[in-house]
Chains A and B, each alone.
Chain A
Amino acid sequence: MGAGAGALAGVLPVLMPRRAGAALRVEITQGNPQPMPIALPEFVAGSPAETDVARNVTLIIVNNLQRSGLFAPINPAAYTEKITNSDTVPRFADWRVINAQALVTGRITKQADGRLKAEFRLWDVFAGQQLDGKQYFTTTDNSRRIAHIISDAIYQTLTGEKGYFDSRIVFVDETGPKERRIKRLAIMDQDGAGTRYLTRATTWY
């Protein structure tokens, strides 16, 4: 549904008769859905040690949104503003120039207790306002999950529908030749990563 953004050029307006002094009324009953251009600059690392985690979290979010088909992440080479502090309001004009309708900024910081703090802000570039902003705390080995949860939050705010990125798929993993097939029950993240086997290798004839 978020794909309806930017669709006004393709609308078929119906002009209604106008009362004296009243505003002209235009009814828009059709749209031209297109993937929403969204900018996701790499999350800021609280210290150099978090650089890799910040990069991976950003990449997972980009891939999730791209794969949904409703978003068109913009090539980072086009970005003119470098986000160095996710707390400051971005220069919206710089993001309008590259036609980004939404912008996500974030930061990953390691806490004194060893946990990771992940923060993000979702900005409406053309309206010049923040649409959402949250922070999460997790253990360092859980950064993939945080990336999926942030993807869900972005998806829900922009489309109105609940996201599905923080979900897993159970499947039967098959290996070996046809006559001695080995099957195992396995589980993976919805993006195909983090496979874990739930059963030992079993031969079924």
Chain B
Amino acid sequence: MIRIRFKRDGTLATGPQVITSGNGPVFNAMRDSAVRAVLVGQPYTMLRPEHYETWQEIDFVFDSSKMYSDIPVRRQ
């Protein structure tokens, strides 16, 4: 889970805060990939300024279990 605080213009007020803890190369890669996706996606102009109070803080929960189900996974 990544917590994000937005500015009114749809950019991030602070760096994404990773709430979930874990370790290992897969967790690290997923965590970095999710943080990168949030950063690359700026600015979130689909968020309307008049509803800023609603979306100024959002928790993004990334669930990878279904995310890549259609991609063949290379087994080691």
A: residues with CB less than 8 A from B are: 1-2, 4-9, 18, 23-31, 33, 101, 124, 126-127, 131, 156-162
Known contacts being A4-B68, A7-B37, A126-B36, is A26 close to B74, with CB within 8 Å? no
Is the pair A29, B63 in contact by a Cβ cutoff of 8 Å?
Answer: yes
A6-B36, A8-B41 known; A159-B59 Cβ under 8 A: no
Interchain CB contact under 8 A, B36 and A127:
yes
The reply to whether B66 and A29 contact each other, CB–CB distance below 8 Å, is yes
Whether A4 lies near B32 (C-beta < 8 A) is no
**In whole angstroms, how far apart are the Cα atoms of A29 and B40 in the complex?**
18
Q: How long is the Cα–Cα vector from A157 to B26 in the complex, in angstroms?
A: 8
Most buried by A among B55, B64, B67: B67
Whole-angstrom distance between the Cβ of A196 and the nearest chain B Cβ = 26
Contact with A along B51-71 (1 / 0, CB 8 A): 000110111111111111001
> Which residues of B approach A to under 8 Å, CB–CB?
3, 15, 24-30, 32-41, 54-55, 57-68, 71, 74, 76
Q: Report if A1-B41 is in contact (Cβ < 8 Å); known contacts: A24-B59, A29-B67, A161-B76.
A: no
- In the bound complex, residues from chain B placing their C-beta under 8 Å from that of A27 are 61, 63
B residues less than 8 Å from A2 (CB atoms) = 29, 33
Q: Residue of A at shortest CB range from B15?
A: A127
Q: Bound state CA distance, A160 and B63, in angstroms?
A: 16
* A1-B54 contact in complex given A27-B63, A162-B76, C-beta closer than 8 Å: no
Q: What are 26 A-B interface contacts by the 8 Å CB criterion?
A: A1-B26, A2-B29, A2-B33, A5-B37, A6-B36, A6-B37, A6-B41, A8-B37, A8-B38, A23-B57, A24-B54, A25-B59, A25-B61, A26-B61, A28-B62, A30-B66, A31-B68, A33-B71, A101-B40, A126-B36, A127-B32, A131-B32, A158-B29, A158-B32, A160-B25, A160-B27
A24 touches B40 (CB 8 A): no
CA distance A18 to B54 in the complex (A): 9
Q: Inside 8 A of B33's CB, which chain A residues have their CB?
A: 1-2, 4-5, 158
* Contact yes or no, B36 A101, CB < 8 A: yes
Central interface residue in B27, B32, B76, by most chain A CB within 10 Å: B32
Asked if B26 contacts A8 (CB within 8 A), the reply is no
Chain B nearest CB from A7 CB (Å) reads: 5
- Residues of chain B within 8 A (CB-CB) of A131 are 32
Bound state CA distance, A158 and B54, in angstroms?
34
Q: Is the CB of B68 within 8 A of A156?
A: no
Q: Contacts A4-B30, A159-B29 known; A26 to B59 CB distance under 8 Å?
A: yes
